[in-house]
Amino acid sequence: MSDRTLPHLALSAHAHNREGLHRTDDAWLAERWADPSTRVLVLAGARLELVDGAPRWLSPDEAPDGERILLGDRDGVTRFAVLVDPEDAPEGEWVGLRGAFAHLMGHHDEAPWLFHAVGLAEWRRVTRHCPRCGGVLEPRRGGHELRCTSCGRPQFPRTDPAVIMAVVDDETGEVLLGRQASWPENRYSTLAGFLEPGESFEDAVRREVLEEVGVEVGRVDYFGNQPWPLPASVMIGFVAHATSREIHVDGSEIAHARWFSREDFGRATESGEIAVPQGVSISSSLIQDWYGAPVESSGW
């Protein structure tokens, strides 16, 4: 990976102290909630409110009633999220996390807060009953644990690891990009897929590339990672070194794939022949790192 600052890395450069040791300290939680400097992000389901394109942070006095989640502290300021039913949300511009990406490009320090809050909100939205007995779940530990009121089984937020990779041909310097069947004709990106049980990240890269495009991969180099709570993933990025070139798309996940030289890629993106990820995604970073320069593209 080059020394250039890449978008997905910038989003992880301002991590907050999650105050895990204080999640069961009711007196500390009450003290921080009572502090007027504390900031609160309200989430309706897993959607947040934007004001002039930026996430709206409130004081505790302004926040509505709802389930409180401790996010943590940075620079002496504690932050919480409050979860409310979407039907109880006031009038406003409520968007999913993708709707805030344009703001995050200029305010990287907010990304860890939003990823943390939205990830927990998504978890709470889909985790309604105990998977063992179907009992009622009660939030604990500052919103980071659910415990069944019937059998006592605890539930914790889950994160599904996914691999994402730039497949490269070391002899030609080309990169392999694919288009999902559901995408517009000109949209291309790196390949990706979820880790399966008992599988290493490197083996997942090799399996996914072979399954999706029929290309064999040898060496797999780690690139970086990115939280991706859409709804509950972390993207583990790799550069996959191809040992074959013939493409056979699976036809279900990938409708078309092709090799690009840097010259062909630059011409295709500048002309609008293809559009590739832009902004904060690790896919964009993988492509930029291979290309060696910012990518001029209509983006998506």
Question: Over the stretch 257-289, which tens digit does the pLDDT of each residue have?
Answer: 999 999 999 999 999 999 999 877 899 999 999
Quick: pLDDT tens for 208-226.
Answer: 999 999 999 999 999 999 9
In the CATH scheme, what is the code of domain 160-291? Answer: 3.90.79.10
Band of residue 91 on the pLDDT scale cut at 50, 70, 90: confident
Nearest to 121 by CA among 235, 41, 225: 41
Question: Across all residues in the chain, what is the average pLDDT?
Answer: 93
Give the pTM: 0.88
What is the share, in percent, of the chain residues with pLDDT greater than 70? 95
- For the cut 80, the answer to whether the pLDDT of residue 10 exceeds it is no
| pLDDT tens column, 139-173 | 999 999 999 999 999 999 999 999 999 999 999 99
Domain extent listing, the chain: 7-126, 131-156, 160-291
pLDDT band of residue 295 (cuts 50, 70, 90) is confident
232, two tokens: 């509950």
The architecture of the domain spanning 7-126 is Alpha-Beta Complex (3.90)
Give 165-204 pLDDT, tens digit per residue.
999 999 999 999 999 999 999 999 999 999 999 999 999 9
Report whether pLDDT(9) > 70.
no
Do 7-126 and 160-291 fold alike per CATH? yes
